[in-house]
Amino acid sequence: MMEMDHKLMAFLAVARHGNFSRAAEELHMSQPAVSQQVQSLEHELQVKLFERNTKRVSLTGAGKIVQHYGGEIETAYGAMQRMLDDLTNVVAGELVIGASYTFGEYVLPYAVAEFCKFYPDVRPSIQISNTIHVANMLLEDAIDVGIVEGEIEEAGLVTDELMTDKMVIIAAPSHAPATDPAMLKRLQAETWILREPGSGTRAAADKVLESLGIEVKSKMEFGSTQAIKESVQAGLGISVLSELAIKKELAQEALKALFYPGQADRPFYLLRRRSAFEPKVAEMFREFLAEYVRIHFAPTPASDS
């Protein structure tokens, strides 16, 4: 079984790359060794799997069949190994995390780096997308764990409140303090620099403006949070962003916090599939992440699932 597995893995690597040398690099084998494994598989199956030329190899009809079913075997083998690891409580293997933009860019990389210090055999990957796409990826089993802004109502998912994201009205360091009674009137007259419509940050910003009764008369829109921060620093206007996204700039006094409109704070939720089986590595990461944000971003709301 294991010998057949090596032959099949060599074949699948060559099929993926269309090239023996690149397959050898992926498998950490010599090119002649990969070629020998493929030839051995061809001999065992009594079919030709590749058409070979000087630059690239291509699959034969038989090769396409073996690639299709061999890929299913490879996937099933990986799932089997993860389940066996779970039985022995080994925290290792691939961990695919999906997250919405703010959390995924400003919190998750640090949390994952810390997690890997405790579990060095974990191979993490992060996919950043909007809330709906993250939820769909989890339902489709494309990711192991999801973190999103805003609650998801989906029967196939369990949501646990993870932390609260504070929204902050920010300005350039030279901007006058917003402490006098005329503050709201002054904010009304400002140029607002906002994310594009449809983004989670823009939805939160619109909620802030609505809660304060501010009708924006002059605005600029950007598709990048970093571009907004740079524009505010340059004095082009003011904005409302997540505190997570501006933590470094506030500490360095590159930006000034004018106002914390607490009534517009938004929660982040931790998502998992409502199923009988969850990889051990995903379960351990969820538990670790809850503790990580409790320590670094206290106070954290209690779970609400």
pLDDT exceeds 90 at position 194:
yes
Q: Which of 288, 16, 282, 302 is nearest to 142 (CA)?
A: 282
Q: Are residues 149 and 209 in the same domain?
A: no
| For range 64-76, the mean pLDDT | 89
How does pLDDT run across 249-273, given as a tens digit for each residue? 999 999 999 888 776 688 899 999 8
More confident residue, 186 or 85: 186
CA dist., res. 301 & res. 305, Å (int): 12
Q: Are residues 31 and 71 in the same domain?
A: yes
CA dist., res. 130 & res. 107, Å (int): 16
Question: How high is the mean pLDDT of the chain?
Answer: 86
Q: Is residue 303 situated within a structural domain? A: no
Position 134 scores a pLDDT of 92
Residue span of the structural domain in which 202 resides: 167-264
| For range 148-159, the mean pLDDT | 84
Q: Which of 213, 206, 290, 205 is nearest to 242 (CA)?
A: 205
**Which pTM value belongs to this model?**
0.63
Q: Are residues 177 and 145 in the same domain?
A: no
Instruction: Read off the pLDDT band of 181 (50, 70, 90).
Output: low
Q: Are residues 68 and 120 in the same domain?
A: no
End of a domain among 52, 87, 122? 87
Q: Are residues 227 and 290 in the same domain?
A: no
How does pLDDT run across 5-22, given as a tens digit for each residue? 789 999 999 999 988 998
CA–centroid distance for 75 within its chain = 22
| For range 48-64, the mean pLDDT | 87
Q: Are residues 109 and 68 in the same domain?
A: no
Q: Are residues 202 and 138 in the same domain?
A: no
Q: Are residues 18 and 81 in the same domain?
A: yes
pLDDT exceeds 50 at position 305:
no
- Find the CATH number of the domain harbouring 234: 3.40.190.10
- Find the CATH number of the domain harbouring 33: 1.10.10.10
Q: Which of 59, 147, 169, 136 is nearest to 97 (CA)?
A: 147
Of 35-49, 112-126, 172-186, which gets the smallest average pLDDT? Answer: 172-186
Percent of the residues in the chain that have a pLDDT greater than 90, as a whole number: 49
Q: Which tokens sit at 172?
A: 């350039």
More confident residue, 3 or 122: 122
Residue 241 Rama label (left phi>0; alpha psi -120 to 50; beta): beta
Position 303 scores a pLDDT of 39
Q: Are residues 244 and 215 in the same domain?
A: yes
Position 179 scores a pLDDT of 62
| Residue 61 Cα distances to 5, 14, 50, 213, angstroms | 21, 15, 9, 67
Position 256 scores a pLDDT of 93
Position 59 scores a pLDDT of 93
Q: Which tokens sit at 11?
A: 């074949």
pLDDT exceeds 50 at position 175:
yes
How does pLDDT run across 86-140, given as a tens digit for each residue? 666 678 889 999 998 889 999 999 999 999 999 999 999 999 988 889 999 999 8
| For range 134-152, the mean pLDDT | 89
Number of neighbouring beta carbons within 10 Å of residue 72: 10
Count of domains in the chain?
Answer: 3
Position 304 scores a pLDDT of 41
Q: Are residues 283 and 233 in the same domain?
A: no
End of a domain among 87, 119, 153? 87
